[in-house]
Structure 1
Amino acid sequence: MSQYAVSGRFQSRDGFSEFNTVVDAPNEDVARERVYANIGSQHGLKRTQIEIDGVAEEATA
């Protein structure tokens, strides 16, 4: 599996909060889905409250 760096923002009480996270996934689409699931469950948000700005595959060492 590859690692993907995902950045974006989500709605919070004070407006929007930005996030940067790294997830293991076989492709970009699965990486997006995992971020929606993780951020949504941690902060009690729906997918419409999460905006993903970019997904980039990280170089493996």
Structure 2
Amino acid sequence: MSQFTVSGRFRTRHGLQEFTKSIDAPNESVAREHVLSQLGSEHNLKRTRIELGEVTAA
């Protein structure tokens, strides 16, 4: 498994909140899905409110 760093932002009622998450995943697409899932469950967000930016292999 490789480690990926995913950055982006999500919308809250107070504006945009930026984030950076490090995740272990077999490829970039799985890393994106894990981050969407994590943010959705932690912050009660729908995927349409999350904007993924850069995904880099660490």
| Same fold, judged at TM 0.5 (above) | yes
Which has the higher Rg, Structure 1 or Structure 2?
1
- Using structure 2 for the length normalisation, give the TM-score: 0.97
Structure 1, unaligned runs of 5 or more: none
Distance 1:41 1:12 in 2: 14
Where has structure 1 moved over 3 Å in runs of 4 or more? Answer: none
Give 1:10 deviation, angstroms.
Answer: 0.4
- Aligned-residue sequence identity (percent) comes to 55
How many residue pairs match? The answer is: 58
TM-score (norm 1): 0.92
Tell me, which stretches of 5 or more residues in structure 2 are unaligned? none
Displacement after TM superposition at 1:13 (Å): 1.8
